[in-house]
A and B are shown apart, each in its own frame.
Chain A
Amino acid sequence: MSSTTYIVPFIKAVASVFKDMLGIVVTKGEPVDEGEEFGSQGFAVIVGFTGGWRGRFFLDMPPTAALRLASILTGEEYASPTEEEVLLSAAEIGNVVCGNAVTAVNDAYPGLNIRLTPPSVFVGDGFSMFNVRLSSYSVLMQTEAGPIKINVAVEEGKR
């Protein structure tokens, strides 16, 4: 499988979860060439997976988009991306997106048995992420909440 194959279920999951859970339509998606490191827009949800695919999924956005998503989810307004409910909302969205994508992959390829780690959330100015020995692929999607970038880094593990 090529790295493009790996990211397709995640693109579909973002589009469907954003629409069903948040009422946000993804209007445009284009591949991004990141080079050796994945540069964050300031707010990233990370979900790892093990099994037939080993690797990580990043859901990355500017802090303003994280505030917007949390507001849609909870109905409250937030001032800072480091508020607990903003972090937890983003973690939950990342978890649902990744769970949705991995369920589709596990259904399509029985025996892969991919399992997810709990989500983690990183917030900061201009941080970057580096995966050793993993091929990765990024797609930048435009939404009314702001630009959402996803990256999937995978190696084929033992089944």
Chain B
Amino acid sequence: MDVRYINPFIQGLLDVVAMLGMTSIVRTGLGKKTYLQTENEVNIIIGLTGEVKGNIVFSTPEATAKNIASAMMAGVPVEKLDLISKSALCELANMIAGNSAAKLEGLGVKFNVTPPTLITGKNLLALISQVETLVINFAGNEGPLEMNVALEM
């Protein structure tokens, strides 16, 4: 996977969360996995088609997801991940994907994104691609957040 195509995703996420007021979120790590095996209860998947094909999965513990949803809804406390907070989280993933897509188009790579799907559950194991998955870790006041990027090109 070409590293030039990863930076737009990292920057896309940081730009969007900062725009929404979550300015403490920073990148904390980078790794590689064959499978996305996650302890995180909340996973949002967005697919890509076009000159790059693949899947991106945002993965967070439930507590982080609630904090992010709360931050997006002007600080209203989120006790439970209900429909509105789930919609907010999907919208966040959508904004990040859109923002990253615009940045990638700047590099001459064209693709389309699917609508987000939010998957909640415990002890999830996922195979999101038959190529290796790049894991980018972020953390901030809201808690830890992972972005898994698997691109085929």
Interface residues of A (CB under 8 A from B): 36, 40, 46-51, 54-56, 82, 84, 87-88, 91, 115-118, 120-134, 153, 155
Interface centre among B54, B112, B115, B129 (most CB of A within 10 A): B115
| Ranked 5 nearest A-B pairs via Cβ | A127-B121, A117-B47, A48-B47, A48-B114, A50-B112
**Which residues of the partner chain B approach A125 to less than 8 Å between Cβ atoms?**
121-123
The residue of chain A having its C-beta at the shortest distance from the C-beta of B34 within the complex is A84
CB proximity of A111 to chain B, nearest CB, Å: 16
The residue of chain A having its C-beta at the shortest distance from the C-beta of B50 within the complex is A115
Question: Contact: B127 with A120, CB < 8 Å?
Answer: yes
**8 residue pairs bridging A and B, Cβ less than 8 Å apart:** A48-B55, A48-B114, A49-B47, A88-B127, A115-B112, A124-B121, A124-B124, A153-B115
Question: Contact: A46 with B45, CB < 8 Å?
Answer: yes
**Which residues of the partner chain A approach B117 to less than 8 Å between Cβ atoms?**
46, 48, 56, 129-131, 153
The residue of chain B having its C-beta at the shortest distance from the C-beta of A86 within the complex is B127
> A122-B124, A122-B126, A124-B122 are known contacts. Are A132 and B116 too (CB-CB below 8 A)?
yes
A115, B53: Cα distance in complex, Å: 10
**Which residues of the partner chain A approach B118 to less than 8 Å between Cβ atoms?**
129-132
The residue of chain A having its C-beta at the shortest distance from the C-beta of B118 within the complex is A130
Over the window 96-135 of chain B, the binary record of Cβ atoms lying under 8 Å from chain A Cβ atoms (1 yes, 0 no) is 0000000000000000111111111111111111100000
Question: Contact: A133 with B115, CB < 8 Å?
Answer: yes
Question: Contact: B127 with A56, CB < 8 Å?
Answer: no
**Which residues of the partner chain B approach A56 to less than 8 Å between Cβ atoms?**
47, 114-115, 117
CB proximity of A154 to chain B, nearest CB, Å: 9
A77, B47: Cα distance in complex, Å: 32
Which of B54, B91, B120, B121 interacts with A117 by CB under 8 Å?
A: B54
**Which residues of the partner chain B approach A88 to less than 8 Å between Cβ atoms?**
127, 130
Question: Contact: B49 with A117, CB < 8 Å?
Answer: yes
In the complex, whether B87 has a CB less than 8 A from a CB of chain A is yes
**Which residues of the partner chain A approach B86 to less than 8 Å between Cβ atoms?**
130, 132
Question: Contact: B115 with A134, CB < 8 Å?
Answer: yes
In the complex, whether B147 has a CB less than 8 A from a CB of chain A is no
**Which residues of the partner chain A approach B91 to less than 8 Å between Cβ atoms?**
132
**Which residues of the partner chain B approach A118 to less than 8 Å between Cβ atoms?**
47, 53-55, 129-130, 150, 152
> A49-B49, A121-B127 are known contacts. Are A40 and B115 too (CB-CB below 8 A)?
no
